């Protein structure tokens, strides 16, 4: 605690316009108010940073999926799958997270079943 007081006193020496000095009692009285405020700011920063990282990762995944779709445009399954996936991406903003996830999983299951059927046909 004393280091903070010394830091403010040094700051007032180097900056003459900062003439107000703090004493230990003012610092001790303000401490119960400052600590929760600093913790709240830290918590908010952490939450915002986490949400930003999630959105960046989500966009990156969508871009990679679209790149893979464009790379395999000549595939038999790609055209119906690509159109359904692009439609799902467009609907994403209107769906809640759980519904979007369910539709994405259903689309994945449909594609995997179609791939199995196509592989079985190519074996015979």
The tokens describing 113, both together, are: 């079943």
Using DSSP, state whether 11 is helix, strand or coil: helix
**Residue 49, CA atoms < 13 Å, CB-side half-sphere:** 6
Q: What is the pLDDT of residue 73?
A: 64
The tokens describing 35, both together, are: 């600590």
Q: What is the pLDDT of residue 61?
A: 83
**18-59: pLDDT as tens digits:** 656 566 666 677 778 778 888 999 999 999 999 999 999 888
Percent of the chain scoring above 70 in pLDDT: 69
Q: What are the residues whose beta carbons fall under 8 Å from the beta carbon of 5, sequence distance 6 or more? A: 22, 23, 24, 27
Q: How many CB atoms lie within 10 A of CB 81?
A: 19
For residues 44 and 8, the model is more confident at 44
């Amino acid at each position: 605690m004393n280091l903070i007081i010394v830091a403010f006193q040094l700051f007032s020496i180097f900056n003459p316009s900062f003439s107000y000095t703090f004493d230990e009692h003012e610092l001790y009285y303000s401490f119960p108010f400052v600590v929760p405020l600093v913790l709240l700011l830290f918590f908010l920063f952490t939450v915002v940073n986490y949400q930003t990282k999630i959105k960046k990762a989500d966009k990156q995944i969508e871009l990679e999926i679209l790149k893979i779709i464009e790379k395999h445009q000549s595939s038999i399954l790609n055209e119906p799958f690509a159109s359904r996936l692009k439609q799902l991406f467009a609907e994403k903003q209107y769906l809640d997270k759980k519904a979007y996830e369910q539709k994405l999983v259903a689309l994945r299951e449909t594609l995997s079943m179609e791939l199995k059927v196509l592989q079985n046909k190519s074996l015979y």
